[in-house]
């Protein structure tokens, strides 16, 4: 098969040079007269013109376990389904959460996705991580060992999540039929090309084959924005030996456009006193947030019952005379720091 493929590629490139018509060659894939030989060769021949996969952009979201939902929303709380997602049996709930990082920055109204899982998992893009001041690793869903921590806050309580914050790896859910067609099996990694003016090729895209899946690529908002891809953008599975000239970006038929995860999240410094109170509670119960963010260590998680004083802009009047002493037990929010400097309040570090 490898020899056959090599010959095929050489013939193809010679034909291109002779024809001087690359575009036509790439769009038809029928000029070589080699026919389809099945297996890997079939994939190489059909990539440019044939079967495409819809893209879906996964905005930041949280999967919850029952225990954490009980804490965040109340015992035996039943969330309401807001929207069915593209993969059968997956949905966005009406309910949202606030995610807080060690810098006291928060992202509010982050969507909870269903169904409930055995372990809580927070999926963010790099940009979200920067806002929160955390460094979440790239992981496949469910591989949470040694991942990053955060605080989750709901209307009824807060959870200090010791690990479970990831940037989800690029992946494609493939139907069994499409997997057979491309000759790809579960857990293979492929390259995926997004066409258009910001077109690019994503590497290390994990394939997940299941008889219950419909074919759909999942990438985070940073990857999506980099390629100018939206929900429904049609992408191509490629391998390195069959790159053809890139065409314009196209969108799937309306019945094949994956639904967006409804996103009303907002990010910035926390000013809501309820969120602050809940966050302090979670930090008192579990030790400080920042301690858990030291990659790989986390030695004092759950042991040191520290109480941290959080100083926001609203508290600044209390520190006019004394100044702010930045001891390890004090968190001065970034906004409050700027304001303190502007007001001439002394910050002792």
> Rule CB under 5 A: which residues touch Zn ion?
218
- Closer CB to Zn ion, 63 or 218, in the complex: 218
The nearest distance, CB 199 to Zn ion, in angstroms, is: 22
- State the DSSP code for 251: B
- Residue 101 φ/ψ, nearest 5 degrees: -110, 180
d(CA 45, CA 36): 7
The nearest distance, CB 172 to Zn ion, in angstroms, is: 8
Q: Which residues of 21-54 are buried (b: 16+ CB within 10 A; e: fewer)?
A: eeeebbeebeeeeeeeeeebbbbbbbbbeeebbb
Residue 148 buriedness (CB in 10 A; 0-12 / 13-18 / 19+): buried
- Closer CB to Zn ion, 168 or 289, in the complex: 168
Name the E strands within the chain: 53-58, 61-63, 81-84, 91-100, 105-114, 121-123, 138-139, 148-153, 158-168, 171-174, 189-194, 200-209, 216-220, 234-238, 266-269, 309-311, 324-325, 330-332, 347-348
d(CA 112, CA 79): 9
d(CA 103, CA 93): 28
The nearest distance, CB 88 to Zn ion, in angstroms, is: 12
- Closer CB to Zn ion, 193 or 218, in the complex: 218
- Closer CB to Zn ion, 169 or 293, in the complex: 169
- Chain position whose Cβ is nearest to Zn ion: 218
The nearest distance, CB 59 to Zn ion, in angstroms, is: 13
d(CA 65, CA 82): 18
The nearest distance, CB 111 to Zn ion, in angstroms, is: 15
- Closer CB to Zn ion, 205 or 289, in the complex: 205
- Closer CB to Zn ion, 111 or 218, in the complex: 218
The nearest distance, CB 218 to Zn ion, in angstroms, is: 4
- Closer CB to Zn ion, 234 or 324, in the complex: 234
The nearest distance, CB 7 to Zn ion, in angstroms, is: 38
Whether 190 and 207 have beta carbons less than 8 Å apart is answered as yes
Q: Compute the Cα dihedral for 105, 110, 112, 113 and give only its sign.
A: negative
* C-alpha count within 13 angstroms, C-beta hemisphere, residue 28: 12
- Residues near 109 by Cβ (< 8 Å), separated by ≥ 6? 96, 98, 263, 264, 265, 266
The nearest distance, CB 195 to Zn ion, in angstroms, is: 22
- Closer CB to Zn ion, 123 or 163, in the complex: 123
């Amino acid at each position: 098969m490898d020899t056959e493929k090599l010959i095929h590629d050489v013939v193809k490139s010679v034909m291109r040079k002779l024809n001087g018509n690359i575009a036509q060659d790439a769009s038809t894939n029928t000029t070589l007269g080699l026919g389809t030989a099945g297996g890997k060769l079939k994939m190489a021949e059909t990539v440019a013109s044939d079967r495409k996969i819809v893209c879906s952009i996964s905005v930041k979201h949280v999967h919850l376990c029952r225990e954490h939902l009980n804490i965040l929303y109340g015992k035996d709380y039943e969330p309401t389904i807001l929207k069915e997602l593209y993969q059968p049996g997956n949905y966005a709930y009406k309910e949202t959460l606030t995610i807080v990082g060690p810098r006291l920055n928060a992202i509010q109204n982050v969507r909870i996705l269903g169904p409930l899982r055995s372990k809580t998992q927070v999926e963010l893009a790099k940009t979200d991580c920067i806002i929160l001041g955390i460094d979440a690793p790239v992981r496949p869903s469910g591989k949470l060992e040694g991942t990053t921590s955060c605080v989750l806050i709901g209307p009824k309580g807060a959870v200090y999540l010791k690990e479970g914050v990831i940037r989800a790896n690029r992946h494609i859910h493939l139907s069994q039929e499409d997997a057979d067609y491309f000759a790809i099996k579960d857990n293979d990694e492929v390259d995926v090309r997004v066409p258009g003016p910001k077109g690019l090729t994503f590497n290390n895209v994990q394939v997940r084959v299941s008889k219950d899946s419909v074919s759909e690529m999942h990438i985070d908002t940073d990857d999506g924005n980099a390629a100018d891809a939206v929900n429904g953008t049609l992408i191509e599975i490629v391998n390195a030996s069959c790159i053809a000239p890139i065409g314009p970006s196209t969108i799937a038929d309306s019945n094949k456009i994956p639904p967006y995860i409804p996103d009303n999240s907002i990010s910035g410094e926390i000013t809501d006193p309820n969120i602050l109170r809940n966050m302090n509670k979670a930090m008192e119960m579990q030790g400080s947030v920042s301690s858990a963010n030291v990659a790989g260590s986390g030695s004092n998680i759950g042991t040191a019952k520290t109480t941290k004083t959080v100083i926001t802009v609203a508290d600044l009047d209390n520190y006019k005379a004394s100044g702010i002493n930045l001891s390890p037990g004090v968190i001065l929010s970034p906004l409050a720091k700027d304001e303190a400097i502007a007001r001439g309040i002394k910050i002792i570090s």
